[in-house]
Amino acid sequence: MKKIFKTMMATPIGNLYIFNDEDYLYKISWNEFETYADIPLLKNDLGEQAKSQLLEYFAKKRFEFDLPLHLTGSEFRIKSMKAMQEIPYGETISYKEQAKLMAVKFSQAIGTANKNNKFSIVIPCHRVIKSNGEFGGYNGSEFDKKEYLLKLENSSLV
């Protein structure tokens, strides 16, 4: 079994926890205890690279991420994560629009898949909103974080 590393970084809206091995990121989460709870803080190069890119994002100096993500789940869930990665910085789409991009009919299923996103910010589920302009869910309904990220990106819908 590969060794898992955990890096913590402070952000303007709370601590983010980065979980990775030597080759891939497994999770970027606001909740330290959600997964890999027993792993002590232990830095490595990939975790530090992710932290650096996220700090650049919060400083408005990075608009895309170049990190090796270990995507898991059903084919539908992976397709959903890849679709979210295509949403440009500073823009939003609705769950219905994301369903169209993925050529599926059920936008409710999109919401469920997005809610289970393991890579906060790097896979920008915060850029997906309801058709009526409301936020919808975000990693445990943390609307303050979603609002902050959309304002950071100067979204016209906030």
Question: What span, in angstroms and rounded, lies between the C-alpha atoms of 150 and 153?
Answer: 5
* pTM for the structure as a whole: 0.88
The answer to whether the CB of 37 falls within 8 A of the CB of 6 is no
Question: What span, in angstroms and rounded, lies between the C-alpha atoms of 62 and 151?
Answer: 15
On the question of pLDDT at 138 being above 60, the answer is no
CA distances in angstroms from 80 to 2, 48, 112, listed in the order given: 27, 27, 10
Please report the pLDDT score of residue 37 as a whole number. 65
- Catalytic-residue membership of 125: yes
What CATH number belongs to 75-152? 1.10.10.10
On the question of pLDDT at 24 being above 70, the answer is yes
What 8-state DSSP symbol labels residue 122? T
Residue that wins the pLDDT comparison between 94 and 31:
94
On the question of pLDDT at 125 being above 60, the answer is yes
What amino acid occupies position 36?
Answer: Y
Q: Where in the chain is the domain with CATH 1.10.10.10?
A: 75-152
Please report the pLDDT score of residue 43 as a whole number. 76
Q: Determine which one of 69, 81, 83, 125 is catalytic.
A: 125
Mean pLDDT of 79-103: 93
Average pLDDT for the chain: 87
Mean pLDDT of 146-154: 91
Please report the pLDDT score of residue 140 as a whole number. 44
